[in-house]
């Protein structure tokens, strides 16, 4: 089968007109500099994240996978067969593919910001499942979600594993869930979400997961600077920065930053900025949830009839909720 056409990535056009340019430069110029975590995922960043998921310290991927394996039949009964499976942040599509047999989706719609990686992943997956219609969409769904008419409106299931919802602050997470709800039928009943969420736990476990002993997460964090250079024409040197990750218990979140090793100047078209030794660029929050947090968010966003499945240590939760 021919490789499906993709909606263009935000940065497939010139630097002057793609939206990444303005967003990134605004973040770099802010009083507290920030690079949104969606820019981790250039082709190398996507590969590094795959490596992170295999690390012994990084429990979320294997813990979530164990929940799906242990409760697959119950999850399939809650979802029902024949859904339109919309896989947000699909990456290599492996998590969704593991559910194909149980869910028997009528259409698979993987959505990811990394165009090239999505091309490669879907091309391989289509060979394994030639009878399943696949419609890959390369887009940034973090701020808007506009699905083309070719996405079947019947029985939509938004699949958002990996506790990616934790990358948003609480207000943003609620707004995101409400956008998903708005993409489902207004009367409710026909449409749902299936999400994975990391739960609050011992800070030592959390910090090890985001600062592994061999430095893969550090490489992943530092690589974002190379991606920013490619997108904006900046001249970051990753050797001038170090990876910093810690758990903020008051905010219930892991914070990841890049910290300047020395005083330095970074230039990009039309501007420059001095970063002093110890100054940081914020790259990611990963909020952790309680069961009450999850239920409250879903209720406010317009979802109900929530079912949750947990691992034995209750480190992670998989949640299915229907549109009300």
Digitized pLDDT (tens) for each residue of the chain, 324 residues in all? 333 333 333 333 333 445 557 889 999 999 999 999 989 989 899 899 999 999 999 999 999 999 999 999 999 999 999 999 999 999 889 999 999 999 999 999 999 987 888 888 999 999 999 999 999 999 888 878 889 999 999 999 999 999 999 999 999 999 999 999 999 988 777 899 999 999 999 999 999 999 999 999 999 999 999 999 999 999 999 999 999 999 999 999 999 999 999 999 999 988 999 999 999 999 999 999 999 999 999 999 999 999 999 999 999 999 999 999
| C-alpha–C-alpha distance, residues 43 and 117, integer Å | 6
| C-alpha–C-alpha distance, residues 7 and 105, integer Å | 22
What pLDDT was estimated at residue 143? 77
Instruction: Domains for the chain: give ranges and CATH numbers.
Output: 33-55+214-287 (no CATH), 71-137+152-201+289-323 (3.40.50.150)
Q: pTM for the complete prediction?
A: 0.87
What pLDDT was estimated at residue 19? 55
C-alpha torsion angle, residues 273, 278, 279, 283 (rounded to 10): 120
Per the structure block, which two tokens stand in for 225? 């600077």
What pLDDT was estimated at residue 6? 32
What pLDDT was estimated at residue 91? 86
What pLDDT was estimated at residue 17? 45
Per the structure block, which two tokens stand in for 118? 């999505």
CA atoms lying within 13 Å on the CB side of residue 240: 18
| C-alpha–C-alpha distance, residues 296 and 47, integer Å | 34
Pairing of strands 316-323, 303-310: antiparallel
Per the structure block, which two tokens stand in for 9? 């990535």
Place of tokens 């039928």: 185
What pLDDT was estimated at residue 20? 57
* Secondary structure (3-state) at 31: coil
Element (H, E) at 300: helix 291-301
Element (H, E) at 43: helix 43-53
What pLDDT was estimated at residue 94? 92
From residue 161, alpha-carbon distances to 64, 267, 302 in Å are: 8, 37, 19
């Amino acid at each position: 089968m021919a490789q499906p056409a993709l909606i263009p990535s935000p940065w497939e056009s010139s630097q002057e007109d793609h939206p990444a340019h303005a967003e990134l430069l605004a973040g770099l110029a802010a009083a507290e500099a920030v690079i949104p975590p969606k820019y981790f995922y250039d082709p190398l960043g996507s590969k590094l994240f795959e490596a992170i998921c295999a690390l012994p310290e990084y429990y979320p991927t294997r813990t979530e996978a164990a929940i799906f394996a242990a409760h697959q039949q119950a999850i399939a009964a809650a979802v029902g067969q024949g859904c339109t499976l919309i896989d947000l942040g699909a990456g290599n599509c492996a998590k969704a593919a593991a559910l194909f047999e149980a869910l028997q989706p009528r259409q698979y719609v993987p959505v990811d910001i990394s165009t090239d990686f999505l091309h490669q992943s879907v091309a391989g997956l289509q060979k394994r499942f030639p009878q399943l219609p696949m419609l890959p969409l390369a887009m940034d769904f973090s701020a808007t979600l506009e699905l083309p008419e070719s996405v079947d409106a019947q029985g939509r299931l938004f699949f958002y594993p990996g506790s990616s919802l934790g990358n948003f602050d609480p207000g943003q997470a609620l707004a995101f869930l409400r956008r998903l709800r708005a993409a489902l039928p207004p009367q409710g009943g026909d449409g749902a979400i299936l999400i994975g969420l990391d739960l609050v736990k011992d800070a030592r476990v959390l910090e090890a997961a985001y600062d592994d002993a061999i430095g893969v997460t550090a490489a992943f964090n530092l690589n974002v600077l190379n991606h920013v250079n490619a997108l904006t024409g900046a001249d970051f040197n990753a050797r001038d920065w170090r990876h910093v990750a810690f758990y903020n218990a008051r905010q219930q979140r892991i914070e990841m930053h890049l910290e300047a090793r020395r005083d330095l100047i970074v230039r990009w078209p039309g501007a420059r900025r001095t970063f002093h030794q110890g100054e940081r660029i914020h790259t990611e929050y990963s909020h952790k949830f309680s069961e009450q947090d999850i239920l409250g968010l879903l209720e406010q966003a317009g979802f109900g009839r929530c079912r949750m499945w947990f691992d034995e240590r209750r480190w992670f939760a998989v949640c299915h909720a229907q549109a009300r």
